[in-house]
Amino acid sequence: MEKIVIASNNPGKLREFGGLLAPFEFIAIPQSELGVSDAEEPYATFIENALTKARHASFSTGLPALADDSGICVRALSGAPGVHSARYAGLEKSDLRNNQKLVAELHGQTDRRAFYYSALVVVLHPEDPHPLIADGAWHGEIIDEPRGAGGFGYDPHFWLPEQRCTAAELTPELKNRISHRGIAMQQLTQKIRQFLR
């Protein structure tokens, strides 16, 4: 079985990737188990940051690497928090403080449209000239009061009109199927299959 390093130390993402990758015949290893530090994320786009993280993890381990860069983009805030979603309220990551800041920034706004976005990148080695890239978007709205105990990040405030609940109220199985990361993973899976033909 092929080994692939997951270029993330985020427990929520690692849980989701575990579920998403379970059907495939390779062993997914979190970068923390291999002593890999977090990569710098200096870019303004999700794809550039994901590529940087994948190359860093592959360079550090000598293994193929899968990286994700994702966040939430709010229409009324010109796409913020965007690539800064994890540290929106400061350098120390805190879902609670990030959500509090987002709700405060939207006070008085009637346009609550938002979308989660995920960019996934796979590199076979650090200098891979043809990385596999996939992305996905998941549209919803921001609500003031949190609902649900599942998920992570902005999920308790991310209202899904079609589901009539927040992302934090979904089962993990349904979330993995319809989320931005789930959509991107389905796209990436097709690209991997085509690549391996």
Gyration radius from the chain CA atoms:
17
Average pLDDT, stretch 132-150? 97
Number of domains making up the chain: 1
CA dihedral 92, 95, 99, 102 (to 10 degrees): 40
Average pLDDT, stretch 23-34? 84
Q: What is the pLDDT of residue 12?
A: 74
- Is 38 among the residues known to form the active site? no
Rounded to two decimals, what is the model's pTM?
Answer: 0.90
Residue 1 has pLDDT above 60, yes or no: no
Q: Which residue has the higher pLDDT, 191 or 69?
A: 69
Lowest mean pLDDT of 11-20, 67-76, 157-166, 185-194, name the range.
Answer: 11-20
Average pLDDT, stretch 153-168? 97
21: containing domain: 2-195
Could you tell me the CATH number of the domain that includes residue 108?
3.90.950.10
Cα angle value 87/113/40 (rounded, 5°) = 25
Q: What is the pLDDT of residue 197?
A: 66
Percent of the chain having pLDDT more than 90?
Answer: 74
Average pLDDT, stretch 66-70? 94
**DSSP state for residue 81 in the 8-state scheme:** B
Q: What is the pLDDT of residue 196?
A: 66
The whole-angstrom separation of Cα 155 and Cα 70 is: 13
CA dihedral 53, 9, 143, 112 (to 10 degrees): 0
Candidate list 69, 95, 135, 155, residue with the active-site label: 69
Question: In this structure, what token pair is assigned to residue 154?
Answer: 């902005």
